Copies of this chain bind each other. A is one copy, B any other.
Amino acid sequence: MWLPGYHKWMPKFALLALVLSLSAGPAWPAGTGGHAAEIVNVLLGVVVVLLAAKLGGEVTERMGQPAVLGELAAGMLLGNLDLLAGITILEPLKTNSGLMLMAEIGVILLLFEVGLDSNMHELFKVGGSAMLVAVIGVAAPMGLGYATSAMFLPQAGWWVHLFAGATLAATSVGISARVMQDLGKTHTKEARIILGAAVVDDVLGLIILAVVTGMVTSMGASGSAKIEFGPVVLIIGKSVAFLVGAIIIGRRVHLNALRVAKYFKVHGLPLALAICYCFALSALAGVLGLAPIVGAFAAGLVLEESDYEVFLRRGHPPVGTLIKPIATVFVPMFFVFMGLRVDLRAFGSWSVLGFAAALSLVAIAGKQVCSLGVTERGLNRLAVGVGMIPRGEVGLIFTGMASSLLVSGKPVFDMGTVSAMVVMVMLTTVMTPPLLKKVFEREPAAVA
């Protein structure tokens, strides 16, 4: 090949050739169609999702509920138009990877914002409570979940009950974080306890999943389960290293970057650095198997507006102010997308609904127990308990894992259990916004 540069362009040409060969009409619209169709779909998807978010948010805000509830509901409506009205035009939205990416960036930015609103010192002040709340909030639902599963599925093995318990353990903090932001409560001690506990929860979830899948996998061959400590210790080590690293090393790297950056004159540097810091820690969390939002929260926690003082003095707006409009566009996309993927047909079977109802009750009750872990006096314990209710992605990951792990040739979760878990995730997600608003209104929270 005398032209080594040529092969780089091949995929584009191949695509164009394909599109061309498929089209009989004039070449241009079809020729650009292949390239443009993807972008066009994402752009239209953003339009639909954003408009739905704002309409839904307006309706629930007028009902005195947080906007996020309306965003979820709008998503559920759009996602089930096929079922409700036979309209299938929006079905491709659910699997559009571009929209999915923007939604995930949305929740990362949300936790970054929430982290920016908190600071480490204040989080450490409630650290003991957060730790206790997390541990109780994992142990209680696990025990109760095991019992419920044993009651509803008496013929199933212990590994099924163990997985059911584990699925109920992990809190998904996105919803609560957003509701507290909608209500202007991110500065309260209760909010800090919920967020701190959620971070610990995520680490505990990681450990539990490693232990449980390790036990089930080891059983496959020998028939008896054993716990391998190596991988468990590794995961604990990585998680702790990440959190400590994010706080100590991450802060030092960030401050050093700013020390260099202050000699720079290029436009938009502080915002770019903040975004890079947030995304880098989110990615690092993801690499270690933690949820990327744990990294985003840690990044927000570590970053202080005062770090950017030299830029503020030059008339640069605070980073938090600049993040807001970006979050305004991306965050609602996450919650509409969450609603979009709720399949109302999961509510169609009575036996599933019964099991789901029991699991949801247990999921809620288990997290209420954890409010006992709040050691401070005069706090709104109910708010902490309610803030820990929502299960989300992590629950779905556990469910997915359990439905693909085989014991004696059968998946740990059969289809009925999978559907019940999915319904439980939906219910705990949708009920949290109104409940959390109510408990914050009934009893004032303690401003930290």
Contacts and interface: CB of A to CB of B under 8 A. Distances in A.
A240 interface: no
A57 interface: yes
Contact of A28 (B1, B209, B268, B325): B209
A188 interface: no
Interface string A215-252: 00100000000000001101100000000000000000
A16 B214 contact: no
A44 B283 contact: yes
Nearest to A11: B95
A325 B322 contact: yes
A20 interface: yes
A61 interface: yes
A416 interface: yes
Contacts of A8: 341, 343, 345
A348 B57 CA distance: 57
Contact of A16 (B62, B322, B343, B404): B404
Main secondary structure of the interface of A (DSSP, over half): helix
A131 interface: no
Interface stretch (A30-38, A384-392, A427-435): A30-38
A: interface residue count bin: 35 or more
A44 B285 CA distance: 12
Contacts of A40: 283, 286-287, 292
Interface string A337-365: 00001010111110010000000000000
A359 to B, nearest CB: 15
A279 interface: yes
A60 B32 CA distance: 34
B346 A267 contact: no
Given A3-B349, A272-B50, A329-B272, A210 B27 contact: yes
A288 interface: yes
B104 A39 contact: yes
B266 A57 contact: yes
A13 B412 CA distance: 13
Interface stretch (A145-153, A189-197, A302-310, A395-403): A395-403
Given A9-B400, A404-B16, A415-B6, A267 B67 contact: yes
Given A26-B210, A97-B97, A210-B26, A419 B6 contact: yes
B12 A400 contact: yes
Contacts of A35: 397
A292 B43 contact: yes
A282 interface: yes
A58 interface: yes
A86 interface: no
B415 A36 contact: no
A266 B345 contact: no
B266 A61 contact: yes
B329 A275 contact: yes
A33 B290 CA distance: 10
Contact of A25 (B25, B31, B231): B231
Interface of A: 1-6, 8-9, 11-13, 16-17, 20, 25-29, 31-33, 35-40, 42-44, 46-47, 50-51, 53-54, 57-58, 61-62, 67, 95, 97-98, 101, 104, 108, 206, 209-210, 213-214, 217, 231-232, 234-235, 264-269, 271-273, 275-276, 279-280, 282-283, 286-289, 292, 322-323, 325-326, 328-329, 332, 341, 343, 345-349, 352, 396-397, 399-401, 403-405, 415-416, 418-419, 422
Across the A-B interface, give the 4 residue pairs with the lowest CB-CB distance, nearest first: A5-B346, A17-B404, A29-B289, A26-B231
Given A28-B235, A44-B283, 16 more contacts: A3-B415, A3-B419, A5-B422, A13-B404, A16-B400, A20-B404, A28-B206, A36-B289, A36-B292, A37-B286, A39-B101, A39-B286, A43-B283, A43-B286, A44-B279, A50-B275
17 contacts: A3-B418, A4-B348, A5-B422, A13-B403, A20-B404, A27-B210, A28-B213, A38-B97, A39-B101, A43-B108, A43-B282, A47-B280, A54-B272, A67-B266, A98-B98, A268-B332, A323-B325
